[in-house]
């Protein structure tokens, strides 16, 4: 079928829907619904068989829904209506939530129901819920809906609040005042409030008399203080006392004043001098209970597992350096295999564009960040003492995808979306991609992937050799442990390691690793310091969330 997506942004859900339906052989056209006219024009242009709205913040005009079947993906259970569905579900501590696919009509979220699936809620942020449970349920609903639509004999169900199954209701749009924090409240109450607003818009609160949005919550089980007091700093995150314990906040955004715009940055960086005297609290190796850590290591049966759970998958210069140090330390252990675990939300999205934008000299910081991520990747490539596995549980983009390819084996959780390209950010790219990508998919495919800038599903990635295999989310971790242990304890381990060492020596003879880096960095230097400002403009648009259709305000230039 020819399917048109009308979407406010081609976000993670829209990209996942795109790759799933493309894999099934459908033609997908994506229209960013920037205005009613843009939607009307795109429908005229594509005359689709079906319209899907994966993530739409506007009404579909009647001239469209009265002539075409338009399916809205709504992140709520049957009967749930209105904006802020997930905000309310997290804040209210719902034990079960769901996704419903509705046919657009004149009643917001009140159209006939094509499919719905529920899931068990977890104590996670709204955005984590959206990127995982909501996305999985939405894709299940979408595939059912497509089947039902193609069958031509399915009648979607009318929404009937008298029906026992209809548990949802219409709710008001969420406002900051409904979740404002009193710091003498218990940790779990505060945690719910902050998670209900993460990653957008963030929970508005006051720190040292100024207004900030809070993000990136982690409960703390050991530290205590006077409610509201900032009692510690760790790797850019701040620990703040609650009524019965404390929480960590990893990121803050200053509230805009007048035309001045701000963006999310590590919390300690935003508060600057104000937290100079706050005690720095490095993580204890044998820490018990919940706390904040973005890098940690576990070991079992000759396998080391290196976790790096960076907010939004973005890796700043210091995070890359810390991860490289942790990798080198893991390599010194008496193990045979190291598994790079990434984070539960994202695998990696490459260099940290927000931290770069927030630096005094973004070009210099870009240069430092790309070199730091390159240094990390170089260590992985040059490891001749261990076999390395990348275990991707979340989406990855740009240098983040290439980071995974530095390992000997690459596995991904079913449904992960990969964007192995840099062009949209105005970058040539580094991270040894000119070595690692063609090695896996060949030169022709490498050019196609990096030029066309389209998202790749795990299924397509496996087909072209970008990854080795994919496994279901439910048993992904167990499967990775099984594979890693089997490899580490295998009688063939030594010969496999030897094979790897020989291959690296051969590759080095063909072209030294440093040559790839040098060639890439010549182009990146130009991207950062040259007269073409595409990267700086694309980065500003990305960080300040300004669409290409709008002019960049002078305040951000």
Instruction: DSSP for 159-183, please give it.
Output: P-TTSTT----B-PPP-GGGG---T
* Closest to ligand COA by CB, 40 or 454: 454
Helix (H, G, I), strand (E, B) or coil at 418: strand
Report d(CA 137, CA 145) in Å as an integer.
Answer: 12
**Segment interacting with ligand COA, rule: CB under 6 A, options 25-33, 333-341, 343-351, 523-531:** 343-351
Instruction: DSSP for 342-391, please give it.
Output: E-SSEEE--B-HHHHHHSSSHHHHHHHHHHHHHHHHHHHHT--SSEEEEE
Pattern 176-205, ligand COA, x by CB under 6 A: -----------------------xx-----
Phi/psi-derived region of residue 92, left when phi > 0, alpha when psi is between -120 and 50, beta in every other case: alpha
Q: How far is the CB of 149 from ligand COA (least distance, A)?
A: 26
* Closest to ligand COA by CB, 351 or 404: 351
Q: Which residues are registered as beta bridge partners of 238? A: 233, 249
| Residue ranges in 415-434 that form contacts with ligand COA under rule CB under 6 A | 419, 422, 424-425, 427
**398, burial (CB in 10 Å: exposed 0-12, middle 13-18, buried 19+):** buried
Report d(CA 241, CA 248) in Å as an integer.
Answer: 9
Binding status of residue 521 toward ligand COA by CB under 6 A: no
Q: How far is the CB of 455 from ligand COA (least distance, A)?
A: 7
Whether a cis peptide bond, with omega within 30° of 0, leads into 201 is yes
Distance of CA 352 to the CA centre of its chain: 13
Report d(CA 507, CA 488) in Å as an integer.
Answer: 24
Q: How far is the CB of 392 from ligand COA (least distance, A)?
A: 13
8 A C-beta contact, residue 212 and residue 270: yes
Q: Which of 342, 399, 415, 420 binds ligand COA (CB under 6 A)?
A: 399
Q: Which pairs from 459-467 meet CB under 8 Å and 24+ separation?
A: 459/19, 459/23, 460/19, 460/22, 460/23, 461/412, 461/418, 465/440, 465/441, 466/401, 466/405, 466/410, 466/418, 466/420, 466/440, 466/441, 467/392, 467/404, 467/410, 467/411, 467/412, 467/418
| Residue ranges in 218-247 that form contacts with ligand COA under rule CB under 6 A | none
* Closest to ligand COA by CB, 214 or 353: 353
Q: How far is the CB of 461 from ligand COA (least distance, A)?
A: 15
Q: How far is the CB of 295 from ligand COA (least distance, A)?
A: 17
Q: Which of 234, 240, 254, 352 binds ligand COA (CB under 6 A)?
A: 352
Q: Which of 11, 69, 105, 318 binds ligand COA (CB under 6 A)?
A: 11
User: Between the CA atoms of 23, 416, 496 and 446, what dihedral angle is there, to the nearest 10 degrees?
Assistant: 60
What number of chain residues touch ligand COA (CB under 6 A)?
A: 24
Q: How far is the CB of 57 from ligand COA (least distance, A)?
A: 14
| Residue ranges in 277-316 that form contacts with ligand COA under rule CB under 6 A | 312-314
Report d(CA 348, CA 214) in Å as an integer.
Answer: 22
* Closest to ligand COA by CB, 330 or 359: 359
Which residue in the shown chain puts its C-beta closest to ligand COA? Answer: 350
Residue 238 parent element (H or E): strand 237-241
Report d(CA 460, CA 548) in Å as an integer.
Answer: 29
Q: Which of 99, 353, 392, 484 binds ligand COA (CB under 6 A)?
A: 353
Q: How far is the CB of 271 from ligand COA (least distance, A)?
A: 19
| Residue ranges in 113-142 that form contacts with ligand COA under rule CB under 6 A | 127
* Closest to ligand COA by CB, 161 or 529: 529
**Segment interacting with ligand COA, rule: CB under 6 A, options 240-248, 275-283, 396-404, 497-505:** 396-404
Pattern 251-270, ligand COA, x by CB under 6 A: -------------x------
Q: Which of 12, 116, 250, 371 binds ligand COA (CB under 6 A)?
A: 12
* Closest to ligand COA by CB, 115 or 401: 401
Applying CB under 6 A, the residues found at the interface with ligand COA are 11-12, 127, 199-200, 264, 312-314, 349-354, 395, 397-399, 419, 422, 424-425, 427
């Amino acid at each position: 079928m020819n399917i048109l997506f009308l979407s406010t942004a081609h976000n993670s859900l829209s990209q996942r829907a795109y790759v799933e339906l493309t894999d099934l052989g459908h033609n997908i056209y994506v229209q960013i619904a920037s205005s009613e006219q843009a939607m009307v024009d795109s429908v005229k242009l594509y005359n689709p068989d079906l319209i899907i709205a994966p993530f739409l913040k506007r009404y579909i005009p009647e001239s469209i829904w009265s002539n075409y079947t338009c399916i809205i993906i709504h992140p709520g259970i049957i009967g749930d209506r209105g904006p802020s569905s997930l905000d309310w579900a997290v804040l209210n501590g719902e034990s079960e939530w769901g996704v419903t696919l509705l046919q657009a009509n004149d009643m917001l979220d009140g159209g006939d129901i094509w499919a719905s699936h529920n899931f068990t809620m977890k104590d996670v942020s709204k955005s984590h819920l959206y990127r995982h449970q909501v996305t999985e349920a939405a894709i299940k609903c979408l595939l059912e809906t497509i089947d039902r639509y193609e069958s031509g004999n399915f009648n979607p169900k009318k929404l009937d609040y008298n029906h026992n199954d209809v548990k949802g209701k219409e709710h008001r749009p969420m406002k900051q005042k409904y979740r404002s924090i009193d710091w003498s409240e218990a940790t779990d109450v505060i945690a719910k409030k902050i998670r209900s607003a993460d990653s957008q818009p963030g929970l508005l609160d006051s720190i040292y008399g100024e207004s900030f949005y809070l993000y990136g919550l982690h409960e703390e089980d050991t530290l205590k203080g006077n409610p509201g007091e900032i009692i510690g700093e760790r790797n850019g995150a701040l620990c703040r006392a609650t009524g019965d314990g404390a929480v960590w906040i990893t990121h803050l955004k200053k509230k805009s004043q007048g035309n001045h715009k701000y963006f999310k940055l590590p919390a300690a960086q935003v508060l600057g001098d104000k937290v100079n005297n706050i005690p720095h609290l490095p993580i204890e190796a044998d820490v018990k209970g919940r706390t904040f850590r973005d890098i940690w290591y576990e070991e079992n049966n000759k396998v080391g597992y290196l976790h790096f759970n960076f907010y939004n998958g973005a890796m700043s210069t210091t995070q890359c350096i810390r991860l490289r140090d942790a990798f080198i330390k893991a390599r010194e252990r008496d193990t045979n295999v190291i598994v790079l675990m990434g984070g539960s939300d994202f695998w990696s999205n490459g260099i940290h564009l927000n931290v770069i934008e927030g630096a005094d000299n973004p070009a210099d910081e870009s240069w430092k960040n790309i070199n730091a991520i390159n240094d990390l990747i170089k260590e992985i490539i040059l490891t001749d003492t261990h076999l390395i596995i990348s275990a991707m549980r979340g989406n990855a983009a740009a240098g983040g995808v290439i980071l995974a390819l530095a390992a000997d084996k690459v596995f991904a959780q079913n449904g992960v979306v990969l964007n192995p390209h840099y062009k949209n950010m105005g970058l040539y790219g580094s991270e040894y991609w000119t070595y690692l990508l063609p090695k896996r998919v060949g030169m022709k495919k490498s050019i196609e992937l990096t030029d066309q800038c389209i998202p790749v599903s795990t299924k397509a990635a496996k087909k072209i050799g970008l990854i080795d295999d994919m496994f279901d989310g439910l048993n992904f971790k167990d499967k990775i442990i099984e594979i890693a242990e089997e490899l580490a304890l295998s009688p063939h381990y030594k010969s496999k390691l030897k094979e790897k060492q020989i291959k690296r020596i051969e590759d080095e003879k063909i072209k030294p690793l440093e040559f790839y880096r040098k060639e890439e960095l010549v182009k990146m230097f130009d991207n950062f310091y040259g007269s073409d400002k595409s990267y700086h403009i694309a980065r500003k648009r990305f960080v300040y969330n300004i669409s290409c259709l709008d002019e960049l305000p002078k305040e951000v230039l």
